[in-house]
Amino acid sequence: MGRAQAVAARLVSGWVCGVGVGPGDPELLTLKGLRLICKADVIAFPAPLEGPSFARSIVAPHLDDSRVELPIRMPMQESRFPAAAVYDRAAREITGHLEAGRGVAVLCQGDPFLYGSFLYLFARLAADWPVEVVPGVSSLTACAAAAGSALAARNDVLSVLPAPLGDAELEARLSACDAAALVKVGRHFPRVRRLLMRLGLEDRARLVIRAGLADERVQPLDSVDPAAVPYFSTILLHKRGRAWL
Amino acid sequence: MGRAQAVAARLVSGWVCGVGVGPGDPELLTLKGLRLICKADVIAFPAPLEGPSFARSIVAPHLDDSRVELPIRMPMQESRFPAAAVYDRAAREITGHLEAGRGVAVLCQGDPFLYGSFLYLFARLAADWPVEVVPGVSSLTACAAAAGSALAARNDVLSVLPAPLGDAELEARLSACDAAALVKVGRHFPRVRRLLMRLGLEDRARLVIRAGLADERVQPLDSVDPAAVPYFSTILLHKRGRAWL
């Protein structure tokens, strides 16, 4: 870059935002998310070590090849989160774009601030740059829509419980709430199902897989093949069976 | 209607959906919500006994006068929910439109299935008609975006707690979770604040009012005027202070 260009670049203000792109259906992107993605010079997104990014695939209908694409590649294994070195490097690359006056949209599956890995980028960038966060449709409400059953009504206590928690903790939390969403079920399915059976709650619960996508499934727990439960699947439970009762 | 018209009307299929229009910012409507509202012959929406509907105001930029508008008017007092007679009548009116082959979009502030009054219409309509639910951005994630602070990370237990619950119940739930969103705060603010002080959690909590709107406010609890806390306001709490810690 020549000196005149460098001066011009510093006069242009870089900006960065985290955009919740929703749980998977490209139509569940918000108008604001779409506007900022279209306006961005750079899009960043989580991706596995090899292969395509799910977050990018959600907005793919709106992308052309005019943007710099910055995949944030990391092993998709729950034991490896958070991968500090990966986020450090991504934050440095994004900072480079911001200092050059570019706009950066970071794509986040679901919502950026609900169990999202965006958090770790936000923590690194927000000290030096204003980071706008555009909320998105979360998998919780998408799962409820798919199941045709409300998450919570009236004065219900709703507990959002990561399935990797231990049995005693899950049992205490499930006993105390009116409704629950168990997230990140994956390989924990058989254990969580046994727990729900012991609490007499199994018939009030359903497993939701890939809500809003063409191959979405909503299943009673006794019909589930435990070997076919992906990490990003959710068990919804309402103790009244139906929230409006 | 003449006989030929009546036969034709029955050949046209009516449809109904509940559309989450997000927490207030018109740009937080989803592409799917926008498409279905534009396609609808009739839009229905909750409204106070007199005056404009907040849900309708969110999508007003996309409306012209080509649609039948069906306000579902009810007293906006928490003690009066659910108003069975109001929902019975609204369900009858919507059924009339469906039987005439019209498409009906019911507008729902936030998400239809998270503490939404849409639930009571859904319960009445779903026995006879397939009711599609289009999830929306919930106030929870919009509040977190406004506050610049994640709702939950890693294996955090997130409790969604309606503020009208009693002190003992709130205290037990707040003690047991990692993070909480206290919804419907309104006149319960002074009581909830005292409770959070007693638990030593006041400085980890913030009040969020009208997230995403021009007059959005995010306040530490000790700076809040208790007389100026609307019903739809939220206290966000994370016990680590910041979810990424």
**Residue of chain A with shortest Cα separation from B243:** A119
- Residue B59 in this model has a pLDDT that exceeds 80: yes
pTM score > 0.80 for this model? yes
**Residue of chain B with shortest Cα separation from A136:** B137
Tokens 């007059």 -> residue: B215
Tens of pLDDT, residues B162-181: 999 999 999 999 999 999 99
Separation of alpha carbons A206 and B185, rounded Å: 31
Tens of pLDDT, residues B105-137: 999 999 999 998 899 999 999 999 999 999 999
The pLDDT assigned to A203 comes to: 93
Four-residue CA torsion sign, A212, A213, A214, A217 = negative
What ipTM goes with this model? 0.92
Contact across the interface for A28 and B30, Cβ inside 8 Å: yes
Residues B149-169: what's their mean pLDDT?
96
Contact across the interface for B138 and A142, Cβ inside 8 Å: no
Tens of pLDDT, residues A138-197: 999 999 999 999 999 999 999 999 999 999 999 999 999 999 999 999 999 999 999 999
Separation of alpha carbons A25 and A99, rounded Å: 34
Contact across the interface for A119 and B244, Cβ inside 8 Å: yes
Reading the block at residue A123, the tokens are 């923590």
Tens of pLDDT, residues B93-106: 999 999 999 999 99
DSSP H/E element including A59 = helix A54-59
Three-state SS sequence of B123-162: HHHCCCCCEEEECCCCHHHHHHHHHCCCCECCCCCEEEEE
**Residue of chain A with shortest Cα separation from B116:** A153
Tens of pLDDT, residues A54-86: 999 999 999 999 999 999 998 876 555 568 899
Separation of alpha carbons A227 and A224, rounded Å: 9
Among B82, B113, B119, select the one facing A145 at the smallest CB separation: B113
- Residue B79 in this model has a pLDDT that exceeds 80: no
The pLDDT assigned to B139 comes to: 96
Strands B158-162 and A158-162: antiparallel
Percent of chain B with pLDDT over 70: 91
Average pLDDT score over chain A: 92
Question: Apex CA B179: angle with CA A129 and CA A163, to 5°?
Answer: 110
Tens of pLDDT, residues A78-92: 555 568 899 999 999
Which chain A positions have a beta carbon within 8 Å of B173's beta carbon? 157, 176
Distance from CA of A1 to the nearest CA of B (A): 35
Residue (of A95, A217, A214, A215) closest to A147 by Cα position:
A217
Question: CA A60 → CA A69, A107, B30, B167, distances in Å?
Answer: 12, 11, 16, 48
Distance from CA of A14 to the nearest CA of B (A): 19
Are A163 and A188 in contact by the 8 Å Cβ rule? The answer is: yes
Average pLDDT score over chain B: 92
Four-residue CA torsion sign, B21, B25, B28, B33 = positive
Separation of alpha carbons B120 and B138, rounded Å: 18
Instruction: Assign B243 a pLDDT band (cuts: 50, 70, 90).
Output: low
Among B34, B176, B243, select the one facing A31 at the smallest CB separation: B34
Half-sphere exposure of B55 (CA within 13 A, CB side): 31
Distance from CA of A78 to the nearest CA of B (A): 10
